[in-house]
Structure 1
C-alpha cells in the first residue's frame, strides 16, 4: 500500500558502468496524496511522455537539454536560483563543495571541478514545458518539493574498492543517505522507490547507513524487494523503476545530466592540453579508449594519480 505515506521519494543511479567519471545517485522528493501515488505509478502520457521516461532514451551524451531543464526547475523548487552549471551542481549535491573536493590533491582539482567554458544550454521554452509538467503533476496529487544527488567521484569509487565495496554497494549506501536526509527533512515516515541495485534480491545484509536498524522484509524477488523500517518508512527496489515510477524517472534524468556535465569537465580540462582530443563519454567504447591513450603522457607529467582518473574494479 502506498496511500498511507504523505511523502514519496524516487531514487536512481547514473554512471554505474563507465570507465571514467563519477557515479551519480539522485533522489526526488514529493508530497503525495492517494491520487498522487496512483499518478506517480502511471506511465507518462501525451506531451509529458516526451519529457518523463527512460533517461537513456531522453538524455544522451551530447544532448542533455532535457536533463538540464529538469535539474534547473527542481533546483528552483528547492530554493536555489541557479544561473550557471556550477550553481546547478551545488544546488543539487547532498554534499557541500568542500566535501566534494576533499579527496582531491590540489593539483588535480581542475580536472574535475574546473567550470571554465561551460554554460547552461537548455532552451527557455523547454524549461517552461518542464515547469508546466511540474504543475500538472501537482494537480494530480504529486507536489515535488526537493531534489538531491550524491556525487561519487572516481577516487571515492576506488577507495571503496580498497574496502571491498563494489559500485553496487556504493550505489545502495548512497541511496540510503538520500532517503535518510529527506526523512529528516520532512519529519515523518516516507515511501522510497529505488531502481534495483545490480541483481540483488536480499538487500538487508548489504545495507550501510541503515544497517543495525530494525527492519521487516516485505518482499524479496527478482523484480521487487521491499523493506519496512519503523520510524523511517518503506524502501522498495524495483526492476526498471524509471519506466514505472515518474519520480524515479525524473531523478534519473537529473542524474544523467549531472553525470554528463561533470564528465565534460574532465574532457575540457585535457582538451586544453592535448590538441584534437576526442569528446569522450567515459563509457567503455572506442572514443573513450582513444581519450585515455591520448592523455596518458600529460597525466603522467602532471603526476595525476591513476585513482583520480580511471576506475578500478574488485578483483
Structure 2
C-alpha cells in the first residue's frame, strides 16, 4: 500500500425532501507536502495551496468556488456556480468533462449498494441531458486545467470523488429495514455516510486516513453506528479496534484500527459545519447537491411532459404535497407508478 496520509471528506444532500434522491458523496486527496499526521480535527490544507484556482463562495475572478455549499448554490446562477466546481473537479480527476448526466454517473456513481429494481422509475433511464447545462465546456476545461496545475505545484493528488445516489425505492426499502432495527431516519443517514466511508477505505490504496463527515443534527455519540459499519471479522484475517477520542456537540472524533493483510489506521469524525472547515467536505457537498439537482431535472421533465400545467418541484415536504396531489389528480390510474417508486416514506 502507498504511504502518506489520505484525507477524505463526506457530506450528503437531500435528506429532508419527500421527492428526489438522497446523495452521499466523498472526496479524497493525498499531499506530498505539509503535515502527514491527522490533527484531531478537519484540515483546511487545500485552499491555501490551491489559491490560484480555488476561492471562497462568491469569488468572481474566475476561480472555482469551494466552501459552504449553501453559499454557492444560491441566487439566480446557483446551478451554474455549483456545476462549474463539480464538473471541473470531475475533469481534474478523470481527464474530461462528461458529456451527459449518464456519463457523469458512470464516472462518479456507486452501484455497490443497489438492487436491480431500485431505478425502475422511467426518469432513471432518461438521464441523457447534455452537460454542461449552464456553462461553456471550454471554460470548465480551462478551470480544470488551472486546478490541476495548482495541485501539481502544491504536491496534491485527487484520489477519489464518488457519490451514492439513493432513489426513492431504495430509500423506502432501507428505511423500513432501519425502523425494524428500532432506528430512525437520522441513524439510517449516518449509516449511509459510513457505508461510503468504508467503501473509500476499501478502494483507496493507503494505510493511513483522516476521514471527516459533516454532522447533521445534534447527535454526539457514534460508537454504535461505527461498530455497525466496521464489524469484527466473522472469521480469521484481522481485527477491528475502535477508540473514542472525544464527543462534543460540534465535533465527535474516533480512532479506528483495522489489522490484517489490509491494515489501516483511521482518524474518523463528525463535525458541525464541516463544509466550511475542510474543503474536501465542501467538494463532497457540491457533488452531492449537483447530482441531486440533475436527477430532479429529469424527474420534473418526466412529470411535466405528462401534466403540462405542473410546476417543477425541489421536492421539499410542503411543495411535494402540492406536486403529488396535482400529479395524482391529473393522471390517476394512468400514472403507472407505485407510490414507493417515486415518493419517500417519512
Normalising by the residue count of structure 1, what TM-score does the alignment of the two structures yield? Answer: 0.85
Secondary structure in 1 aligned to 2:90? helix
Match of 2:29 in 1: 30
Deviation (angstroms), 1:204: 1.0
Match of 2:116 in 1: 102
The within-5 A match list for 1:188-227 is 188-207=207-226, 208-212=228-232, 213-227=240-254
Q: Give the Cα separation in 2 of the matches to 1:7 and 1:256.
A: 24
Q: Within the alignment, does 1:167 sit opposite 2:181 as a pair?
A: no
Match of 1:303 in 2: 336
Name whichever of 67-76 and 226-235 sits farther off. 67-76
Match of 1:128 in 2: 142
Name whichever of 71-80 and 144-153 sits farther off. 71-80
Name whichever of 239-248 and 187-196 sits farther off. 187-196
Equivalent pair of 1:39/1:141 in contact (CA under 8 Å)? no
Q: Give the Cα separation in 2 of the matches to 1:299 and 1:195.
A: 41
Secondary structure in 1 aligned to 2:336? coil
Q: Give the Cα separation in 1 of the matches to 2:217 and 2:207.
A: 29
Match of 1:64 in 2: 79
Equivalent pair of 1:157/1:170 in contact (CA under 8 Å)? no
CA spacing shift, 1:205–1:265, aligned 2, 3 Å: same
Deviation (angstroms), 1:15: 0.8
Equivalent pair of 1:115/1:265 in contact (CA under 8 Å)? yes
CA spacing shift, 1:310–1:52, aligned 2, 3 Å: same
Q: Give the Cα separation in 1 of the matches to 2:293 and 2:332.
A: 21
Match of 1:114 in 2: 126
Secondary structure in 1 aligned to 2:34? helix
Q: Give the Cα separation in 2 of the matches to 1:131 and 1:80.
A: 9
Larger radius of gyration: 2
1:82-122 deviation line (CA, Å, top 9, x unaligned): 221210122111216xx6562347xx431333225554223
Q: Give the Cα separation in 2 of the matches to 1:29 and 1:204.
A: 23
1:284-311 deviation line (CA, Å, top 9, x unaligned): 344x433222211426423311111111
Equivalent pair of 1:33/1:141 in contact (CA under 8 Å)? yes
Unaligned runs of 5+ in 1: none
Match of 1:272 in 2: 305
Equivalent pair of 2:99/2:130 in contact (CA under 8 Å)? no
Secondary structure in 2 aligned to 1:256? helix
Equivalent pair of 1:217/1:227 in contact (CA under 8 Å)? yes
Q: Give the Cα separation in 2 of the matches to 1:188 and 1:70.
A: 29
Q: Give the Cα separation in 2 of the matches to 1:27 and 1:120.
A: 21
Query: Which one of 93, 113, 128 corresponds to residue 109 of structure 2?
Result: 93
Query: Which one of 146, 154, 171 corresponds to residue 157 of structure 1?
Result: 171
Normalising by the residue count of structure 2, what TM-score does the alignment of the two structures yield? Answer: 0.78
Deviation (angstroms), 1:9: 0.4
